[in-house]
Structure 1
Amino acid sequence: MTGIAAKALRTRWFVRAPIPLFRAGLGFLFGGRLLLLQHTGRTSGEPRYVALEKVDRPAKNRIIIASGFGEKSQWYRNLQADPRCRVWIGFTRHRPATARTLSPAESTDVLERYRRAHPKAYAELSGVIEDATQRRIDDIPYVELTLDR
């Protein structure tokens, strides 16, 4: 199963499939597990979209996501250039937010909470990340999105 999931993560049409659903206001179908992130292209200045899985939601206005493909992910690089973004999650649509890369210590804490709360999901996600990216789940960057009020 891990190999199939890793291949799916590298398949453009598959990872982009949720985007139209979010933009149509149907993000609630994903039960708050997935979110849509709108970020600004660092070269083009154009809005870009990516669907990502939420790792943690420590507060109503804070969401933690992981850059499974590391620092090379376009969305991650775009947020480094301009941390202003917009988020769709659950019934929340087009909400302004600010991104911040977590420190290694903060990332370790987030990952440990996830590991304790969801041991089976953690084991599967670990395998998928490693198969897809050849990186350990502990070595990828984590980003906190703070939703504006």
Structure 2
Amino acid sequence: MTESATDPRRVSPTSRRPARPTALIDRLIEAVLRTRWVVRAPIPLYRAGLGWIFGDRLVMIEHLGRVSHDRRFVVVEVVDREPNAIRVASGFGTRAQWYRNLQANGVAYLSTGGARHVRAAVRLLDRDESEARLAAYAARHPRAWRHLKAAMDDAAGGDAYIPIVEFVPPPRSGR
């Protein structure tokens, strides 16, 4: 045997390793996330007051268009929740329209579970904070994170930066 045949670093370009088993799942997730009617399907349910069907894992964000100032809606997964804050990830990075709208005007109303149309302050977390929150999410949901991260990386054409947005509802009045 020659050295190149036994050296694992020297693999012929014609001999391909089999695709990793999850590659198909990752491509399917990416395709679903890019299918407009699928990702928008929960919006009418939230608007009809049926957001409780999705539990606390999803939230509908109502925001205003940057130019038109028309009401816009998006449903995203909650990656972190505290009693006074909800954090979501922009899976398509800073180019997602809803992210850009929040960046431009900071107006948001949330509907989740039993709460509907609650005004919330918007804070765009910096890269370090976003990565720390995503690391915590990955620890809590390793299987989901593995597939979602791979799908987002594929969509971005490389290692995707996934920013986190924090929403804080106003304090309740003590009446």
Q: 2:106 aligns with which of 83, 94, 100?
A: 83
Q: Is the 2:29–2:148 Cα contact (8 Å) retained in structure 1?
A: no
Which sits farther off after the overlay, 30-39 or 120-129?
120-129
Q: CA RMSD in A?
A: 1.3
Would you identify which runs of 4 or more consecutive aligned residues in structure 1 move more than 4 Å?
none
TM (norm. structure 1) is: 0.93
Question: Relative contact order, CA 8 A, sep 6+: which one is greater?
Answer: 1
Ranges in structure 2 where 5+ consecutive residues have no aligned partner: 1-24
Instruction: Report how far residue 132 of structure 1 moved.
Output: 2.8
In structure 2, the residue matched to 1:15 is 39
Indicate yes or no: 2:164 matched with 1:145.
no
Q: Which amino acid aligns with 2:118?
A: R
| Secondary structure at the counterpart of residue 118 of structure 2 | strand
| Secondary structure at the counterpart of residue 144 of structure 1 | strand
Are the structure 2 counterparts of residues 135 and 86 from structure 1 closer, same or farther at C-alpha, using a change threshold of 3 Å?
A: farther
Q: Which amino acid aligns with 1:130?
A: D
Indicate yes or no: 2:93 matched with 1:70.
yes
Instruction: Report how far residue 71 of structure 1 moved.
Output: 1.4
Instruction: Report how far residue 133 of structure 1 moved.
Output: 3.0
In structure 2, the residue matched to 1:34 is 58
Percent of matched pairs sharing the same residue: 45
| Secondary structure at the counterpart of residue 74 of structure 2 | strand
Q: Is the 2:124–2:165 Cα contact (8 Å) retained in structure 1?
A: yes
Indicate yes or no: 2:118 matched with 1:95.
yes
CA distance in 1, matches of 2:57, 2:156: 22
Aligned pairs, number: 147
Structure with bigger strand share is 1
| Secondary structure at the counterpart of residue 43 of structure 1 | coil
Instruction: Report how far residue 121 of structure 1 moved.
Output: 1.4
CA distance in 2, matches of 1:128, 1:34: 19
Q: Which amino acid aligns with 1:124?
A: H
